[in-house]
Amino acid sequence: MTIPGPECGTALRVHMVDQLDGDVRLEQLAFSPTLGWYVQKSFRIPGCMLGDLIRQLRKADCLVPRRPTLKRERQTRPDASLPFPRLNVSSQSA
């Protein structure tokens, strides 16, 4: 799954790495006109830690101040010209 970022040309991608252990890879993506979409940072999250991480992210989400215009900005930002980042299955190396 790919989640558009708060700024044009950014995104987060989440995908399963090891279905037996439940490991997940979280990637921070950026777009460059010369390179296309590329991974800036990549984290492998062990499946046994995923539940604890999600609980902590929910707590952090409650503390983040909300900007009332963020949803409107994401809908109207001029990034429609950028290709949507897609998961390349052949590049999923553990």
Query: What's the pLDDT tens digit per position in 11-66?
Result: 999 999 878 888 999 999 999 999 999 999 999 999 999 899 999 999 998 998 87
Reported residue count of the chain is: 94
**Residue 70: enclosing H or E segment and its boundaries?**
helix 70-76
Identify the CA nearest to 14 among candidates 32, 27, 30, 31: 27
**How large is the greatest C-alpha to C-alpha distance in the chain, in angstroms?**
41
Q: How far apart are CA 3 and CA 72, in angstroms?
A: 16
Whose structure tokens read 């998961």? 87
N- to C-terminal Cα separation, the chain: 17
In CATH, the number for domain 1-63 is: 3.10.450
pTM for this model (two decimals): 0.65
